[in-house]
Structure 1
Amino acid sequence: MTHWTLEWLALVEYELLLFAGVFLLVGSLDELVVDFSWAWLRLTGRAKSRRIERHELCNQELMGPAALFIPAWNEASVIGFTIAHALAAWPQKGLRVYVGCYANDLPTIEAVLRGAGGDPRLRLVVRDEIGPTTKADCLNRLYAALETDERRSGTRFRLILLQDAEDMVDPAALILMDRAVDDVEFVQLPVLPEPRPGRWVGNHYCDEFAEAHGKAMVVREAIGAALPGAGVGCGFARSMLARIDATGHGTGPFPVDSLTEDYELGMTIKAAGGRSQFMRVRGEDGRLVATRAYFPARIDRAVMQKARWLHGIALQGWDRLGWSSGPGEWWMRARDRRGPLSALVLFAGYALLVVAGMLWTGRLLDLAPPPRPTVLITALLAANFVGLAWRVTMRFAFTAREYGWAEGLRGILRIPLSNIIAIMAARRAVSAYAEWLRGAVSAWEKTDHDDHPVSGALQAVRVG
């Protein structure tokens, strides 16, 4: 390396330090406010998960008919297990399971019928259109089928639930959500990815959801901000979906031109004056009542899934939902939309490590003068080091809380992997957003699934 090259690298290092250091510090302070808000809620008892006896709820009857919507495309490998488990975990006669499929997806249709095992509560809705369309379009078709059934029977449903084709429901979840819609129009249960030995890509979701659904969502509800729908483990009052459908000219309550219709629906309910609840409840065994599933174990699938989330929430959401009034709501929407900027800052941070390594090598060979950090840089580095240590501690604490201390330690080691996936997903999301601005139609970029936690499901059904 020449002297000129090293001088140029030193300048790049300084600029990267300022850019990454300042924005990483801002992000750390933002998270610190969330952390202390959550801690205050815990100390005052407002964030404590209440306890239930699962066996007391599992066989209670519903207060009114409930419909479970499951949209499906190319899900033959998992959906049979999902339906069999849901029907067994939720034996209530008032439940009806609506599964949306496409005429050109016969393997999924066959898997749905096998999974139902002749249970009359299944309602298979087959689209004539060549699939896939979009997930929201499929959900709207299920909603139209429900309306048809209501007209034929003269009975109106009370509750509509959403799950994905790969999910494992909790036996107590149905009754909890059924009771909740007495007081609110939207209820969201936590989502807990199921860990698998050696699947570092899939297991990094455990760390992120444990912290997001153990802390951030709790704070979000406490400050009165809109709760985003996760698309699974959520229930809606039938009357609220009817109101939203009416404002959309009767085409269905799910926005077909949004990549994250579940997130947007939660925001829409808040804007319409609806009440929402994030429900954290634990059973007698200490296990959280939550939707569980295996998440993508391959990096390309994880990148595709997270890119869709970023595209729909951070980029499309800015255009479609704007900024609502009120500091709490503004804060939460800013957090929702920071993903692309966060990825850029992370990229700058990793680039800084590379440049610093090159300069360190040059100094080791006496080709470059030793560094002369300013007071500002020293303070910035110290603050970021403290922030990183705190973030690592919180990541361990929340992962260990749900999965045990060993998984908590592995969660620390997975932080760089999580960051790399975020950077790759942001690049893909920005590219897709640019195409969308040029007129590209939103498509159903679904995640492929090849495994299902059915063994754990069978154990959960036998509770009590």
Structure 2
Amino acid sequence: MPEAGAFLQLVELAFRELALFAAFGFLLGAVDTLAVDLLWLRRAAQRWLGNRKTAEPCLGELPPPADPGRHAVFVPAWDEADVIGPMLEHAVQQFAGQDYRLFVGCYPNDVRTIAEVDAMAASNANVERVICARPGPTTKADCLNRLWTALIAEEERTGRRFKSVILHDAEDVVHPAEIVLFDRLIEHHDLVQIPVIPLPHPKSPWVAGHYCDEFAEAHGKDLVIRDSIGAGLPSAGVGCAIARDALGALAAERGGVPFDADSLTEDYELGLSLAERGKNGTFARCRADRSGELVAVYAHFPATLGAAVRQKTRWITGIALYGWDRLGWHGNAADFWMRLRDRSSILAALILLAAYAAAVLGFALLVVHLVSGRELPQLPPILAAILTMNASLLVWRLAIRAFFTGRIYGLRQALIAVPRAVVSNIIAMISARRAVTGYLFSHRDRRPAWDKTAHIFPDNIGTR
């Protein structure tokens, strides 16, 4: 039938074009990632050969602080009654004997969270409940600004100036040595970020598990290289200390508050804003002792597809879309490269979509060939060559991801990380579509609200 033949020709054309677009896009992305991999491998080789500059130090090897100081811990909390009590109880236990004050931001229309924080504040003088001026949810940045005003009031009341501001979320499992580490490093850096390690969720090995893979690689390799090449270091929003003076200087520029209340990703923007003003940040992978435990922050991440998509949508919108508008392309060549990587998620999702579509069409053409005996279309030589290179780079990419996952979570999780990459891709594609749709059709004059996900705190934090 002529119509059937013409239709198959269209399918073959669509397959070739989609495959070529996806293959070329994959090749560019793979080469970009390979460059980071090779930089990390060079750094690892230097460390194995005894280069102290690339070594992961033990906390005891760092010089003591010249001027030990007091540290403010900011915890913004909207609708966190289920986790904020255990989180605060654990935090004050871990920070016992250290010089800190924990400010918890609550909203006047969130009475359950207020009650949990008040109960903790009544039994521990280091915990202070702070009420935001407006009902929630506003944005996390707006809540952090209210905590900043509480910090200023505390300094005026006591006559003592804080040394740093440490950011945490209401579901974080804090490390007992983090304040000691921040106290030593913040004298030499304006921002110090420690690794974030997602906790595996026993009922969600695929959705929650994909965060384990992504953060293991990002905080085991990507941020290490970003720091080493001198690019601006974004804050992860948790496990991060900012020098009080640097934050104060930023507040002086912004009408008295340091965080941009209209930002969806205030943590990411904060680090880059400080870097643009000549402030220096560092990513600190430091061992607590000779046993090898990293000083890091642990937390459960979303365990359902819907929650993960909502969170990733906010990240993509804030970093790849609004981040382009708000931060531009300032900085040196290293900054340009890293911002290009940060903002490539939309294009990467489009390339993935084209690849999966080409795979479906290719499978359909194979079925037609097997059923009818129709000759399969020949791949253009350039496409065949790119696909061969991509296949090799894909094997490398999956091996690298499995390596970093296994370094933290063991061999079983390393093996699961390979098929779990498909879950990461699916979540990325759905999130990118939602982010673009929301960005194009949102009302730009409407202030964003805190689109947070439900959190859980581990029942047995000793097993982290």
Same-fold status (TM-score > 0.5):
yes
Give percent identity, aligned residues only: 43
Alignment of 1:213-292 (within 5 A): 213-250=219-256, 252-283=257-288, 284-292=290-298
- 2:56 alignment partner in structure 1: 49
- 1:197 alignment partner in structure 2: 202
The one-character-per-residue Cα deviations of 1:293-342 (angstroms, maximum 9, x if unpaired) are 00000100000000100000111110100001321110000000001110
Deviation of 1:367 after TM superposition, in Å, equals 5.5
Q: 1:356 and 1:326 mapped to 2: Cα distance?
A: 43
Of the three residues 184, 188, 192, the one matched with 1:183 is 188
Of the three residues 64, 67, 70, the one matched with 1:65 is 70
Structure 1: which 5+ runs fail to align?
A: none
Of the three residues 134, 158, 162, the one matched with 1:153 is 158
CA RMSD in angstroms comes to: 2.0
The one-character-per-residue Cα deviations of 1:66-88 (angstroms, maximum 9, x if unpaired) are 11000000011111111111110
Alignment of 1:360-375 (within 5 A): 360-366=366-372, 368-375=374-381
Contact 1:181 1:236 (8 Å CA) reproduced: yes
Deviation of 1:455 after TM superposition, in Å, equals 1.3
Contact 1:100 1:139 (8 Å CA) reproduced: yes
Amino acid at match of 1:11: L
**Would the alpha carbon gap of residues 44 and 437 (structure 1) be closer, same or farther in structure 2, given more than 3 Å must change?**
farther
Amino acid at match of 2:419: L
- 2:339 alignment partner in structure 1: 333
- 2:50 alignment partner in structure 1: none
Of the three residues 6, 12, 15, the one matched with 2:14 is 12
Alignment of 1:20-419 (within 5 A): 20-45=22-47, 46-52=53-59, 63-116=68-121, 118-199=123-204, 200-250=206-256, 252-283=257-288, 284-366=290-372, 368-419=374-425
Equivalent residue of 1:228, what SS? Answer: coil
Q: 2:56 and 2:210 mapped to 1: Cα distance?
A: 24
Q: 1:129 and 1:353 mapped to 2: Cα distance?
A: 51
The one-character-per-residue Cα deviations of 1:165-201 (angstroms, maximum 9, x if unpaired) are 1000111111101111110110000100001224121
Q: Give TM-score scaled by structure 1 length.
A: 0.94
The one-character-per-residue Cα deviations of 1:124-150 (angstroms, maximum 9, x if unpaired) are 001242211111000000000110111
Amino acid at match of 2:330: S
Amino acid at match of 1:48: A
Deviation of 1:368 after TM superposition, in Å, equals 3.1
Q: 2:121 and 2:150 mapped to 1: Cα distance?
A: 18
Equivalent residue of 1:92, what SS? Answer: coil
Q: 1:367 and 1:305 mapped to 2: Cα distance?
A: 47
Deviation of 1:443 after TM superposition, in Å, equals 1.6
Amino acid at match of 1:16: L
The one-character-per-residue Cα deviations of 1:240-280 (angstroms, maximum 9, x if unpaired) are 00000011121x10111110000000001111111111000
Amino acid at match of 1:19: F
Amino acid at match of 2:240: C
Q: 2:336 and 2:389 mapped to 1: Cα distance?
A: 26
Equivalent residue of 1:5, what SS? Answer: helix
Deviation of 1:213 after TM superposition, in Å, equals 0.6
**What is the number of equivalent residue pairs in this alignment?**
454
- 1:430 alignment partner in structure 2: 436
Equivalent residue of 2:166, what SS? Answer: strand
Amino acid at match of 1:240: A
Amino acid at match of 2:213: D
Q: 2:430 and 2:117 mapped to 1: Cα distance?
A: 34
Contact 1:185 1:236 (8 Å CA) reproduced: yes
Amino acid at match of 1:50: P
Q: 1:257 and 1:128 mapped to 2: Cα distance?
A: 16
Contact 2:74 2:168 (8 Å CA) reproduced: yes
- 1:3 alignment partner in structure 2: 5
Deviation of 1:30 after TM superposition, in Å, equals 0.2
Contact 1:81 1:115 (8 Å CA) reproduced: no
Deviation of 1:439 after TM superposition, in Å, equals 3.0
**Would the alpha carbon gap of residues 84 and 53 (structure 1) be closer, same or farther in structure 2, given more than 3 Å must change?**
farther
Contact 1:81 1:454 (8 Å CA) reproduced: no
